[in-house]
Structure 1
Amino acid sequence: MDISDRIRQKMTEHNLRAVDITRMTGATKGSVSQWLHGISSPGGKYIIPLTRALQCDANWLFGGVSTNSHSSSPAQQGNGFTPSFISKKLPILSYAQAETWREFEDKASIKDQLEWEYAPAAISHQAFWLMVSGDSMVSPVGPSICEAHIILVDPCMQAQNGDLVIAKVGSTKEVTFKKLIIDAGQTYLKPLNPNYRPIEVTDQCRIIGVVREARLKL
């Protein structure tokens, strides 16, 4: 179950429609549609209004983990309800920065040079946001991730078949965002855009991290 499943679950429980979520969060109709179809996830400014609308804990909504299973409901807490959740801010990196981020020791020295975005607490301390570049993950059908998105990358997760990943290709410092495919003993990185060719995974290819979610950068 991902965040889109959890949003739809709470909408069903509380008899809410997409138009209700649009009205209660202030998000556009298109943004809500993308949340519900798993194309993107809500940005930081929508966390509190969305959890209010769905009457749920933000850690559960974004990460599937509740910080307090015995917390009182929004109705019990009144109109001043603020969800009980712990979130963190993570840096938004470029592709070049992503290649060395995990090994970079003096992260504090460039803190003020980076833009930061809220992320669920249920993510490793090495995680970061990445600004999507190019159109190789823009699909004519199904989920599509374009340059308007940032993606949440966790370097501490083990990549599995079918995961979206960030990888370093070959002996260069080139970093790419693709879907990991393992089939009949062969491993390759597949773009969602059919105009691009898959990349064979060799010994010189290194998976940098697994993509946990995509979010429109407004």
Structure 2
Amino acid sequence: MDKWTDLVKARMRELKVTQENLAERIGVTQGAVGHWLREEREPKLRVLNQILVEVGLPPLQMVFPARTAEDSGTYSVSGNPTTVTGADGLQHELYFRYPVLSWTGLDLGSLPADAVRQSTDYQAQGPAFWLRVEGDAMTAPLGVSVPEGMLILVDSGVAAAPGKLVIVRASGSMATTFRQLIEEGGQRYLKPLNPTYPKTLCTEQCEVVGVVVQALMKFL
């Protein structure tokens, strides 16, 4: 995606928000929203930020001036996919905010709109959310370690492959588990990073909810 309109339209599809819904939320006409999304007109930066916030994206933040020879009048991503160039000729850093969810009752089809959200520069490929690690099964004495209390970002749009850290659950169950997916002898297993815990077979009943793409520790 190379324009802010692509990001917004993708989020609208994901959240099932219509142009009429969006127009009502930001106090404009549906026709105005249609013109902006078709790139026939450009909204003011203040209105653009309203749109971004309403679809669950963070407002644009100016990071440094970068005026071009000709003002293109568009907001487009160039180089770094988290940086956009506005109609004002300035570059803005783009952040994404995903909900922090509970391990119990995890339902990707109904992400709560009122959930606490955590920012990141990662642009998810599918519905994404944060979880706070519980227990020490993924705490390793050496190498990659994801200790208790760390926030992990889970992207349901990333394909699971051996070596990746995944969130899984048994088919028909709401109980979720955080493990590393490995393959040995043609079989897939769920491996804890803590060697004191046993690995388990990942059968056809094993449903991968998403792949862990980022982790951070918050002290407050």
Matched to 2:83, the amino acid is T
In 2, Cα distance between equivalents of 1:147 and 1:173? 21
**Kept in 1: contact 2:84–2:94 (CA 8 A):** no
In 1, Cα distance between equivalents of 2:147 and 2:137? 8
Report the Cα offset of residue 116 of structure 1.
1.1
**Kept in 2: contact 1:170–1:202 (CA 8 A):** no
**Kept in 1: contact 2:126–2:156 (CA 8 A):** no
* Relative contact order, higher structure (CA 8 A, sep 6+): 1
**Kept in 2: contact 1:169–1:176 (CA 8 A):** no
In 1, Cα distance between equivalents of 2:176 and 2:95? 28
Highest Rg: 1 or 2?
Answer: 2
The correspondence of residues 1-218 of structure 1 with structure 2, limited to 5 A, is: 65=81, 67=83, 84-98=92-106, 100=107, 102-104=108-110, 107=111, 110-112=112-114, 114-169=115-170, 172-218=173-219
Matched to 2:103, the amino acid is Y
Larger helix proportion of the pair: 1
TM-score (norm 2): 0.57
**Could you report, residue by residue, the CA deviation over 1:165-209 in whole angstroms, capped at 9, with x for unpaired residues?**
000036533210010002221001100001111111111110000
**What is the CA RMSD across the aligned residues, in angstroms?**
3.0
Q: 1:200 and 1:157, CA in 2 relative to 1: closer, same or farther beyond 3 A?
A: same
In 1, Cα distance between equivalents of 2:209 and 2:164? 12
Match of 2:44 in 1: none
Larger strand proportion of the pair: 2
TM-score (norm 1): 0.58
The secondary structure found in structure 2 opposite 1:103 is: helix
Report the Cα offset of residue 67 of structure 1.
3.0
The answer for unaligned runs of 5 or more in structure 2 is 1-60, 65-76
**Kept in 2: contact 1:126–1:154 (CA 8 A):** yes
In 2, Cα distance between equivalents of 1:89 and 1:189? 29
**Could you report, residue by residue, the CA deviation over 1:6-28 in whole angstroms, capped at 9, with x for unpaired residues?**
xxxxxxxxxxxxxxxxxxxxxxx
